Every structure is written in structure tokens, then in C-alpha cells.
């Protein structure tokens, strides 16, 4: 019996240690020596990459497929994490929807519903959606318990989570304001976020010196403090101010970034704060000039993050997200690899459809780049257009090289300034298999030929 008890204790301890070893470490902070990456507090650089989807915090109707129920279908969060873990992902955005009901013109006018929300629905009186009105001075603890539980569960599996504080797309492109908690018809506090009365509510994501505007900001900041109080002690947290808020939100977003940083300065831990592209009509320059630690840009203009990802277009940590490049209709393994070898972190927005699906290509590739990021000394790896004829390479010259070739063919790698012998490995990106590459010596340029059709990665490392 004593032996059995000791065995059980040992298994529990080992299981606990295994969980601790795979838990996400942090809080993350920008790597000073190579600020395109974050580091986990120990100096180890971290690549952030993974899939995200609209239902992963609040339950709501699918954007595209099938009839929508009221109340909305419960999202299987554990299965979602299983999928990410299976593909080797370590990062996602935790989506926030602000309204309770909206009509989606992208799905032939289907009505969508969403719950839970940060404030209690106590009434008196009915809101526009027929349920009780919100009390904007009382938080729904169930919402914040769910928020904390989901962030913590992800962290226990080694995943980092960007907590989205506000959502600006639906206010611009749907009838969401009709059922928004900050529309006066839907709360008992007499608060109206539509300051100019045009029915759109865009001013909810803007600064105003009016009494009404200051009241809205006061309540927004109280909500932000509640979110921070809920997850501040967790190591795997990042923050995102707002998803695709309108172009007039810039000053408000800057204010909120500073507010999060100032409030966290009084707390136990400090986490990275991000700003994502303002759709439509935003400019990447507004992100670069912000006080944010990380950004997600758009792909238009000279910053072609879609086809020829830019390595030096931002002084920030860049999380290149298909949401702001194509929505949920673009991105594949070639885009993932091109982005990574230009020094970018990668996010993919998808519907989480079961395989086989066109999304599998990107899912698999994100796991591939993360494996190489773990193998390499990522902290020293920088994009280097000149070291390989393909133009897509990460290099720590003289030590390690990771080169991407989008199609079968020959290319050169310049090792003329390197010394020693380099061992090589090929990755067949489509088939997800590796084979040995020829061993080469530094001091000259070498020509390599991909040994299989389709996209390939070549990894060269100095033999110790």
C-alpha cells in the first residue's frame, strides 16, 4: 500500500512538473537586442503564431455557416485548444464582441446573437433586443470568470493570449449600435455613446471633452481596470485595444494604450499592449507612431505584408494577421513562411472547419515555423535578403541560416563570411517531412537545389 501511495504521489508530482514545463512563460517583453521578437523574461526569444476565431470567448453565431440559434451555440473551447496544440500553435486573439444582436450583411442578412457580456442585465426595463437593460456600473462576474479561465487554460498549454478589449468593426459595418450596451435605450444609467446622434455610435471609440464623452470614457476605463484585475497575475497575457476601429479612433486608442500601461504599472505584472489596423482607411504609420508594444498592420501600399512581407517597415513587434490582410479568405503556407523569414510573427483568422480544408496549409506551416523557432537561437536571427538568392531568409551570420524557397529550383546561399562546417536539413513544406541536406563549408557561396517539388525550407547550422 505504501508503495502504491508513493507511486501515485510520484505520478502527481511528475504530471505537475510536466504542466509547469509546458506552461507559457512570461510576461512577455520586447527583446531589446532584436526588437522584432518578444522574450519570455529569461532572455529566450518567442515566436507568436496560431489560429484565432470569432467565438473563442463569447458564444455567438457563426459568421458564415448555417442557421444561428438564439441563444447562440456554446463554443467548445477545449476542442479549440486541442486543435491549436495538435498543430503546434502558441498564440491567438481572444475575441470580444460588444453588442448583443446584429444583422450581418455578409451572410444574406442573418441575425446574430452574442453572450455573455461584461455588465449585468438587471433592468428595470427591456433593452432593444427584448432582454433586461444593462447596469453599466455593475459587472457580470460570470463574464470575467470565463475570461480568466480561458486565458489560464491556454497558458497551461503553453499558449499566449491577446485579450481584445474593444471591437470596432461591428459598429461600422452592421446595425450593432441598436443593441449596444452604451446605447441609451439599453442601459439604466442614462449613458449614450452616440454623441452626435447619427445612430452609428462611432464616437464610442473616440475622445470627447463633453460631459457625455467623459462619462463614457470613465466607464470604459472602469471596464479596462476590471479586465486587468482579472488576468494581471497570468504570464501569458497580451492586450489589444480594439479590432478594426474606425479611423477617428487613433487618439482614443493611444490614450487607452497609455492607460493600460499606467494601470499595470501599479500592479504585479506588466504585459505587452497592441494596436491593430483601423479598417477602412487606416494607415500603418499610425500604428508605428503609437505607444503600443506590438502591431498588426494592413497589406496595402509599400508595406506589402501579403505578397512580399516587409522586414523593416515598423519599429514594433509585428504580428502579421490575415484578418487585416484578407479577412478570412487568404493566407497559406507560402505566406506563413515568407512572413516568418522576414522576421514577422504570424496569426491566421479562420472558421476552425474540420480537415480537410484549404486552411490546413497555413495551420501546418505555423507549426513548422514554431518548431524551427524553438530549435534556433531565435534571439539572434534577423531577416537577411542578401544572404540567399530567394530573398527570404533568417540568419545569424556565421552560425545559423533558415532559407525559404517557394518553388522547386536552384538558389545560392552566401557563406563567404562564415567559417567552419555547416550541417543542413531540408523541409518539404507541403508534405511536412525533413531530409538531410549536403554538408558545406564556409568561405564561399553554395548552390542548393530543392530535392522535391513545391515550397521548401533549408536549415543550415554550424557544426560544433
Q: Which of 143-152, 212-221, 350-359 has the lowest mean pLDDT?
A: 350-359
Residue-wise pLDDT tens digits, 293-346 = 999 999 877 789 999 999 999 999 999 999 999 998 899 999 999 999 999 999
Report the sign of the C-alpha dihedral through residues 34, 40, 41, 45, in that order: negative
Rounded to two decimals, the pTM is: 0.93
For residue 202, with 0-12 CB atoms within 10 Å meaning exposed, 13-18 middle and 19 or more buried, which class applies? Answer: buried
* Per-residue pLDDT, 328: 87
Residue-wise pLDDT tens digits, 400-415 = 999 999 998 899 999 9
* Per-residue pLDDT, 83: 97
Contact 161, 227 (CB under 8 A): no
Please state, in angstroms and rounded to a whole number, the distance separating the CA atoms of residues 268 and 275. Answer: 23
* Per-residue pLDDT, 22: 85
- Across the range 49-64, mean pLDDT stands at 86
* Per-residue pLDDT, 67: 59
Residue-wise pLDDT tens digits, 278-290 = 999 999 999 999 9
20 has a pLDDT exceeding 60: no
* Per-residue pLDDT, 14: 37
- Across the range 175-180, mean pLDDT stands at 96
Please state, in angstroms and rounded to a whole number, the distance separating the CA atoms of residues 271 and 208. Answer: 28
- Across the range 378-384, mean pLDDT stands at 98
- For the chain, the average pLDDT equals 92
Contact 139, 147 (CB under 8 A): no
Residue 56: phi and psi, rounded to 5, are -80, 0
195 has a pLDDT exceeding 60: yes
Q: What share of the chain in percent tops pLDDT 90?
A: 87
Residue-wise pLDDT tens digits, 246-276 = 999 999 999 999 999 999 999 989 999 999 9
Q: Grid coordinates standing for 280?
A: 477602412
5 has a pLDDT exceeding 90: no
* Per-residue pLDDT, 301: 74
For residue 442, with 0-12 CB atoms within 10 Å meaning exposed, 13-18 middle and 19 or more buried, which class applies? Answer: middle
Residue 83: phi and psi, rounded to 5, are -65, -45
CATH topology for 393-462? Immunoglobulin-like (2.60.40)
* Per-residue pLDDT, 112: 86
Indicate the pLDDT class of residue 201, thresholds 50, 70 and 90. Answer: very high
* Per-residue pLDDT, 71: 73
Domain boundaries, the chain: 26-383, 393-462
Give CA angle at 397 (417, 336), nearest 5°.
135
Domain spanning 26-383, CATH class: alpha beta
Q: What share of the chain in percent tops pLDDT 70?
A: 93
103 has a pLDDT exceeding 80: yes
Contact 422, 439 (CB under 8 A): yes
Residue with grid cell 499558449, as numbered in its chain:
159
Indicate the pLDDT class of residue 76, thresholds 50, 70 and 90. Answer: very high
Amino acid at each position: 500500500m505504501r508503495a502504491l501511495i508513493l507511486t501515485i504521489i510520484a505520478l502527481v508530482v511528475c504530471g505537475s512538473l510536466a504542466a509547469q514545463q509546458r506552461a507559457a512563460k512570461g510576461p512577455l517583453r520586447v527583446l531589446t537586442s532584436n526588437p522584432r521578437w518578444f522574450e519570455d523574461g529569461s532572455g529566450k526569444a518567442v515566436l507568436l503564431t496560431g489560429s484565432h476565431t470569432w467565438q473563442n470567448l463569447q458564444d455567438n453565431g457563426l459568421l458564415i455557416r448555417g442557421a444561428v440559434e438564439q441563444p447562440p451555440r456554446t463554443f467548445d473551447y477545449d476542442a479549440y485548444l486541442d486543435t491549436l496544440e495538435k498543430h503546434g500553435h502558441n498564440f491567438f486573439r481572444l475575441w470580444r464582441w460588444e453588442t448583443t444582436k446584429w444583422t450581418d450583411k455578409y451572410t444574406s442578412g442573418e441575425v446574430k446573437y452574442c453572450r455573455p457580456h461584461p455588465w449585468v442585465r438587471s433592468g428595470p426595463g427591456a433593452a432593444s433586443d427584448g432582454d433586461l437593460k444593462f447596469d453599466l456600473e455593475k459587472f457580470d462576474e460570470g463574464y470575467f470568470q470565463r475570461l480568466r479561465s480561458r486565458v489560464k487554460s491556454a497558458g497551461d498549454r503553453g499558449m499566449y493570449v491577446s485579450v481584445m478589449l474593444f471591437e470596432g468593426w461591428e459598429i461600422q459595418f452592421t446595425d450593432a449600435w441598436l443593441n449596444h450596451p452604451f446605447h441609451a435605450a439599453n442601459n439604466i444609467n442614462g449613458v449614450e455613446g452616440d454623441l452626435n446622434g447619427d445612430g452609428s455610435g462611432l464616437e464610442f471609440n473616440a475622445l470627447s471633452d463633453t460631459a457625455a464623452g467623459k462619462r463614457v470614457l470613465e466607464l470604459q476605463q472602469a471596464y479596462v481596470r476590471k479586465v486587468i484585475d482579472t488576468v494581471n497575475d497570468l504570464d501569458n497575457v497580451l492586450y489589444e485595444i480594439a479590432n478594426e476601429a474606425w479611423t477617428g479612433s487613433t487618439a482614443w486608442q493611444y490614450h487607452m494604450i497609455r492607460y493600460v500601461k499606467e494601470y499595470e504599472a501599479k500592479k504585479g505584472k506588466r504585459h505587452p499592449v497592441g494596436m491593430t489596423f483601423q479598417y477602412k482607411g487606416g494607415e500603418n504609420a499610425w500604428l508605428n507612431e503609437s505607444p503600443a508594444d506590438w502591431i498588426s498592420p494592413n497589406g496595402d501600399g509599400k508595406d506589402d505584408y501579403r505578397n512580399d512581407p516587409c522586414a523593416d517597415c515598423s519599429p514594433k513587434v509585428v504580428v502579421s494577421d490575415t484578418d487585416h490582410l484578407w479577412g478570412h479568405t487568404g493566407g497559406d503556407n507560402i505566406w506563413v513562411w515568407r512572413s516568418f523569414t522576414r522576421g514577422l510573427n504570424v496569426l491566421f483568422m479562420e472558421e476552425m472547419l474540420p480537415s480537410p480544408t484549404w486552411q490546413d496549409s497555413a495551420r501546418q506551416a505555423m507549426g513548422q515555423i514554431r518548431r524551427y523557432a524553438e530549435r534556433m537561437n531565435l534571439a539572434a536571427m534577423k531577416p537577411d535578403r542578401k544572404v540567399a538568392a530567394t530573398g527570404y531568409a533568417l540568419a545569424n551570420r556565421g552560425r545559423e541560416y533558415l532559407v525559404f524557397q517557394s518553388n522547386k529550383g536552384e538558389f545560392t546561399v552566401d557563406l563567404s563570411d562564415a567559417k567552419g562546417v555547416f550541417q543542413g536539413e531540408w523541409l518539404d513544406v507541403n508534405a511536412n517531412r525533413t531530409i538531410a541536406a549536403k554538408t558545406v563549408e564556409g568561405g564561399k557561396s553554395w548552390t542548393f537545389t530543392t530535392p522535391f517539388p513545391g515550397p521548401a525550407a533549408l536549415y543550415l547550422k554550424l557544426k560544433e
